Structure 1
Amino acid sequence: MQNIVREMAMNRGKELKIVIVTGPTASGKSQLATNISTHFGGEIINADSMQVYRDLRILSARPKPEEEMQLPHHLYGVVAASKRCSAGEWLRMAKAVIYDIHSRGTLPVVCGGTGLYIKVLMEGIAQIPSVPEALASEGRSLLQLHGIQAVYQRLLELDKNAADRLNPNDTHRILRAYEVIRATGRSLNEWQSGSLSLSPLNACFIIVCLMPDRVALYRKIEDRIDEMLQAGALEEVAALNRLKIDPEMPVMKALGVPSFRNYLNGNCNLENSVKDAKQVTRNYAKRQMTWFRNQIKPDIVHANFGAEAFDCIKPILASRLVHRKQKN
């Protein structure tokens, strides 16, 4: 914390400008962020909730090692698959990295499609205490033994207000609300409606949102999953299986992981597993596009993929980043 305060003092009077590159999965965000960082002298900060996990390089579409060596990348592969990385934890890490980048006179370029991460970066978040692993395990055991309806019924008894606001089949949110009430004695609603203990960054955000044609995006998604298979996606999921991680952990719900686990566990053939992975990913991209249209107000929206978009948006960014040195 002292380091962050010192860095902020060093930069007093210098406006903190942050470029955010976002959009649906497979839209070319990483390529665009690389082009922006190379041209304007930036460093890339991950804002993808699955790319934070160390054991999920292929299926999360993390930049390749050689790409990460071309220029600084931050918050990629920094969390073990057996751990959870909440939005609050990501925000704490991201703020420290961004202040450090800014203190060195370099442009922070935040890249990712996890809308919640972008939202908390700009708006802050109420800090909810960590849930002890024993209590988290209690909720997961109840789920595995008796199903989500049993967890929901228990939540109704402990925190009716939170339960009434949730879909009875929403496993993730029901478990989260149950864990919080058991760990803290306070409703998740109370924590969320309280003051922001993790404040947003006081910065000028320049948001670039890629929104390609949906049909073209779906083709890109299908091609990328085929490429992931060739790159070793099945072996990556098999390695996760060997770690015997709780199926309710975030990494085990990443796009493609449940589909390929079904194949590896003998529940379907490879063809159906691949079809399912592609369908789930297309559905996710559709939800992302809806979220971006309704939840954020980008400065630049480009209806193309990242590689093709840079030349068009470069002059706009240059006008917003007038103080930065540019490379030819």
Structure 2
Amino acid sequence: MSHQRFIVCLAGPTASGKSAATLSLAQYWPIEIINVDSATIYRQMDIGTAKPGPVERRTVPHHLLDIRDPSETYSAAEFCTDTLRLIEDIHSRNRIPLLCGGTMMYYKALREGLNNLPSANPGIRRELENEAAASGWPAMHAQLQHIDPLTAQRLAPNDSQRIQRALEIHRITGKPMSQLLAEQRPNQEKPWHYVTISLEPSDRAVLHERIATRYHAMVENGLVAEVEALFNRGDLSESMPSIRCVGYRQIWAYLKGEVDLPTAIEQAIAATRQLAKRQLTWLRAQPDRHIVDCLSLNTVDQIQDIVPQYWNAPPR
């Protein structure tokens, strides 16, 4: 496989310094960033997603930011289509695409291909949301445990989005999602080989402190007002993927009067730490990843030592 068939993916948990690393790399390589993030795709959601700002976007081109209204959805299939198109376009301009982000479902779809699962059914989704509103997501998780224990055991009882999807698939097909996934082995030709550089903390307690510090800074910088603007639109709800984003749904609950603000902040920090744990679990299951300590003082130097073997272009 020739070097130009390699695509480098800079992955890591939230608050691991991925964005800062890409800006440093842009000083030496003609890169363009393809964002692998299911939250930064949304317009009007800047503070809580830690979206790259105007200075960062002027420093290095970013793609797949602000491409959806918060009322809209964006699937892994759409991400794959857009990313493959962007890779070709960036290469055609003699520049280097760098995938960067922490939505592991998107990386998985690119690396392994997409399973042919049924599309979303709005009627069934509303039905499930109504059931969850009445009984709670832990009860829905118990329902999933009964019909699809393999899927249920890998989902947290409050993982509403994935529980809903698994139950939806069962109601559409009459089969457990785990069975359908076992039956379907993607057989798609992969035009690129994806190489993962994984930013992982040598001390998880330090990452946890970073997460708390960053979220408090988001609140100080206007996160509540940002969520309130979405809340006041009147066409959004906590059942939508945009509002389900970690850090947003907790402030949404505060605006609904369900919790006070200090509680919402603590819940958001706890949920973000759980997200980081899931991200690290997925990354550590990738046997061919290059591990870089995101807490090191020479993180960028370590990345610089790795990328030349995959990028044909010399550093500038």
The normalised TM-score by structure 1 is 0.82
Does 2:261 match 1:270?
Answer: yes
Tell me the residue number matched to 1:318: 308
Correspondence 1:106-145 to 2 at 5 A:
106-145=95-134
Deviations 1:137-194 (A, max 9, x none): 23222322444477578879xxx75466425945333321332344456653454332
Deviations 1:229-257 (A, max 9, x none): 12211011112212342322222221212
Matched length: 310
Task: Select 1:228's aligned residue among 212, 218, 240.
Answer: 218
Task: Select 2:281's aligned residue among 285, 290, 295.
Answer: 290
- Contact 2:308–2:314 under 8 Å retained in 1: no
Deviations 1:186-230 (A, max 9, x none): 653454332427x36332333211112322212221221122112
Q: Secondary structure at the match of 1:39?
A: coil
Tell me the residue number matched to 2:24: 35
Tell me whether 47-56 or 307-316 shows the greater mean CA deviation: 307-316
Does 2:58 match 1:69?
Answer: yes
Task: Select 1:256's aligned residue among 236, 247, 251.
Answer: 247
Q: Distance in 2 between matches of 1:200 and 1:176?
A: 27
For residue 269 of structure 1, what is the amino acid of its counterpart?
A: D
Structure 1 239/127 Cα, relative in aligned 2: closer, same or farther at 3 Å? farther
Q: Distance in 2 between matches of 1:21 and 1:114?
A: 11
Structure 1 175/34 Cα, relative in aligned 2: closer, same or farther at 3 Å? same
Does 2:193 match 1:204?
Answer: yes
Tell me whether 178-187 or 207-216 shows the greater mean CA deviation: 178-187
Q: Distance in 2 between matches of 1:312 and 1:152?
A: 42
- Contact 2:141–2:152 under 8 Å retained in 1: no
Tell me the residue number matched to 1:166: 152
Does 2:169 match 1:180?
Answer: yes
Q: Secondary structure at the match of 1:274?
A: helix
Tell me the residue number matched to 1:215: 205
Deviations 1:40-61 (A, max 9, x none): 2111001112222223221111
RMSD in angstroms over aligned alpha carbons?
2.9
For residue 326 of structure 1, what is the amino acid of its counterpart?
A: P
For residue 233 of structure 1, what is the amino acid of its counterpart?
A: L
For residue 58 of structure 2, what is the amino acid of its counterpart?
A: M
Q: Distance in 2 between matches of 1:230 and 1:128?
A: 42
Q: Secondary structure at the match of 2:97?
A: strand
- Contact 1:121–1:200 under 8 Å retained in 2: no
Structure 1 117/164 Cα, relative in aligned 2: closer, same or farther at 3 Å? closer
- Contact 2:150–2:178 under 8 Å retained in 1: no
Unpaired segments ≥5 residues, structure 2: none
- Contact 1:54–1:78 under 8 Å retained in 2: yes
How many Å apart are 1:133 and its aligned residue? Answer: 2.5
Structure 1 311/164 Cα, relative in aligned 2: closer, same or farther at 3 Å? closer
Query: Percent identity between the aligned chains?
Result: 31
Q: Secondary structure at the match of 1:15?
A: helix
Q: Secondary structure at the match of 1:101?
A: helix
- Contact 2:7–2:310 under 8 Å retained in 1: no
Task: Select 2:38's aligned residue among 41, 49, 52.
Answer: 49
For residue 275 of structure 1, what is the amino acid of its counterpart?
A: E
- Contact 1:210–1:306 under 8 Å retained in 2: no
Tell me whether 261-270 or 160-169 shows the greater mean CA deviation: 160-169
Structure 1 22/150 Cα, relative in aligned 2: closer, same or farther at 3 Å? closer
